[in-house]
Amino acid sequence: MAMATDVPKDSFRLSMLIYDTRYRSYTIQLVVLVLFAMAVAWLLNNTVQNLAARGKEFNYSFLWQRAGYDIGQHLIPYTNDSTHFRALLVGLINTLVVAFFGCILATILGVIVGVLRLSNNWLVSRLMTVYVEIFRNVPLLLWILLSYVILSEVTPAPRDFRVTDEMVAAGQEPAASMIFMDTVAVTNRGTNVPAPLFDRGLGTLDLGFMSLNLTFLAVVAVIAGSVFVNRRILSSARATQEATGVRPETWWKSLLVLFAPIIVLLIALGFHLEIPELRGFNFQGGILVAHSFTALLIALTLYTAAFIAEIVRAGIMAISRGQSEAAFALGLRPRRTMSLIILPQALRVIIPPLISQYLNLTKNTSLGIAVSYLDLRGTLGGITLNQTGRELECMLLMMLIYLAISLTISTLMNMYNRSVQLKAR
C-alpha cells in the first residue's frame, strides 16, 4: 500500500531570491531600500558640497541669535530682542491657534450646512447649495484678502468712539460704540477684547528656551480634570441604565463638576477682566486681536466648512432611509432622529475625509502671510529666513514642523475614528 510522505525540502540557493515567490518580495524591498538610501545619500552629499562651494555650512546656530523684528500678535512674551527660536515659537503658536479655532468653527458650520442641504424646505436647501458652490469654487487666498479689506475699511476708526463735552451738552451720540455691554471695541486697527487678569497669579516657570505660565496651566488642568470626572459620571450612568433600565439623574452632578472647581480656582486667583478704554488716539488695555488673525480665521472657516458640508451630506445619504423610517415609527421627531440615529452612524463615513480637511486647513494657515499674519510661515519661513540667509535650514525645519502637526492631527482623528467604528461581538 502506497504511503504519503513529506516532500523533501530543498536547501536554500541564491537563485531562490529571484525565482522563489517566498523570497522574491523581500528581495524587491531590499533593492528598493538600497536605491532609496543611495538617492538620499547622493542628495545630502550634493547639498553639502554646494553649501561648501558658497562658503556655508549646515547648522541651526542662527536660531539663538537676536531676531530684531516685532510680532504684532503673540501669546507668549516676545520682544525684538528675543531670539529667532523665540520668534519660531510665537509663529508656531499663532499657527496652532488659528488651526484649532478654524477646525472647531468649520466643523460646526459644515455640519449645520450639510444637514440643511438635505432639508425639505426648497429655499433653505438652495441657499445652502449656493453657499457651498460659491466658497468651494473661489480660491481661499481671495477670501482671505476680501475678509481683511472688509474688516479694515468698513469698521470705524478709534476717534469715532470718542465722546466730547460738546456732544454731551448737545445730547449727541458718538458715531460708533462698543458692543457686548461696552466690553468689545471693533475698529479699523483691530478688535479690542477684555483681558483676563489675576491678582494672585502663580507666576511662571522659566525653562530656558521658553517660560510656562503656571496660572494658565492650573486653569487648563482643572478644566481637563473636570471634563474627565464628568465623563466618568456619564459612563457610570450609562452602565447603570444598561444594567437596570433606569438612568440616574446626572445633570446636577455634571454642572457641579464642570463649573464649581474652575469657579473656585478663579476666585482664589483673584480673576477679573480688564476692559479696553479709549485713551488718546487708540484703545488701551485688554487684548488687541489683529484684523489679520480675524480675516484669516473667517476665511478658513467659511472655505473649509463648504467642503465639510459636502462630506456631511454624503455621510448622511450613505445611511439607509430605513433608519429614519424606523425612528419615525418609534415616535422620534426629525431633529432627534438626526442627532441620535443618523449622525452617529454617518460619523463612520464622515471622519476619514474630515481628517483631510483638518490637515488642509492647518496647512492653509500659511496663506496668512498675505495679510501680514505672522504665523510659522511668516516668522521662520519669512523674516527669519530673509535675515539669516539660511534658506535650506529654515525650509527643512518648517517642513518638519508642519509634518509633525499633520501626523499628530491624523493620529488623534484616527483614534477617534476607531472609537466610533462598529465593533464585532
Q: From the CB of residue 260, how many other CB atoms can be counted at a distance below 10 Å?
A: 11
Q: What is the dihedral sign for C-alpha 322, 328, 330, 332?
A: positive
Rg (CA), the chain: 29
| Alpha carbon distance 274, 284 (integer Å) | 10
The answer for residues whose C-beta is within 8 angstroms of residue 386's C-beta and 6 or more apart is none
How large is the average pLDDT for residues 354-358?
A: 93
The answer for residues whose C-beta is within 8 angstroms of residue 205's C-beta and 6 or more apart is 211, 212, 214
Res. 424: pLDDT tops 60:
no
How large is the average pLDDT for residues 302-323?
A: 91
Among candidate residues 352, 308, 247, 279, the one with its CA nearest the CA of residue 103: 308
What confidence category does residue 337 fall into, taking pLDDT thresholds of 50, 70 and 90?
confident
Summarised one tens digit per residue, pLDDT across range 224-238 is: 999 999 999 999 988
- Exposure on the CB side of residue 212, measured as CA atoms within 13 A: 7
Summarised one tens digit per residue, pLDDT across range 85-98 is: 999 999 999 999 99
Q: Which CATH architecture has domain 75-142+291-420?
A: Orthogonal Bundle (1.10)
CA angle in degrees (0–180, nearest 5) for 131-137-143: 75
The answer for residues whose C-beta is within 8 angstroms of residue 238's C-beta and 6 or more apart is 247
Residue type, 193: V
Res. 180: pLDDT tops 70:
yes
Helices (H) and strands (E) counted in the chain, each on its own, are 15, 9
Among candidate residues 143, 191, 158, the one with its CA nearest the CA of residue 371: 143
Residue type, 6: D
How large is the average pLDDT for residues 8-17?
A: 68
pLDDT of residue 297: 96
**Highest mean pLDDT pick, 38-52, 159-173, 394-408:** 394-408
For residues 201 and 212, the answer to whether their CB atoms sit within 8 Å is: no
Res. 26: pLDDT tops 90:
no
Q: From the CB of residue 204, how many other CB atoms can be counted at a distance below 10 Å?
A: 16
The C-alpha cell 464628568 sits at 230
What confidence category does residue 308 fall into, taking pLDDT thresholds of 50, 70 and 90?
very high
| Alpha carbon distance 113, 221 (integer Å) | 34
What confidence category does residue 393 fall into, taking pLDDT thresholds of 50, 70 and 90?
confident
pLDDT of residue 1: 46
| Alpha carbon distance 295, 143 (integer Å) | 9
105-109, 166-170, 257-261: least confidently modelled range: 166-170
How large is the average pLDDT for residues 121-139?
A: 93
How large is the average pLDDT for residues 182-205?
A: 88
| Domain boundaries along the sequence of the chain | 75-142+291-420, 196-271
How large is the average pLDDT for residues 231-256?
A: 88
Res. 7: pLDDT tops 70:
no
pLDDT of residue 209: 61
pTM of the model: 0.84
CA distances from 61 to 18, 33, 64 (A): 49, 33, 6
What confidence category does residue 21 fall into, taking pLDDT thresholds of 50, 70 and 90?
confident
